[in-house]
Amino acid sequence: MNELKCTRNVSNVAKSLIKVLKKSLIMCLGNELRRDDGAGLVFCRKLRESNIGITNMIFAYTFPLAYVDKIRDSKVKDLVIVDAIYGCKEPGEILFTKLDPLMIIEPELVSTHNMVREKQPR
pLDDT for position 112:
56
Domain residues of the chain, as ranges? 5-114
- pLDDT tens figures, 28-75: 999 988 877 888 898 889 888 887 888 899 999 999 889 988 988 888
Exposure pattern of 2-21 as b/e (b: 16+ CB <10 Å)?
A: eeeeeeeeeeeebeeeeeeb
C-alpha span between 82 and 42 (Å, rounded): 10
pLDDT for position 84:
83
- 5-114 has which fold? Rossmann fold (3.40.50)
- pLDDT tens figures, 68-91: 889 888 888 888 888 887 766 677
pLDDT for position 115:
54
pLDDT for position 57:
93
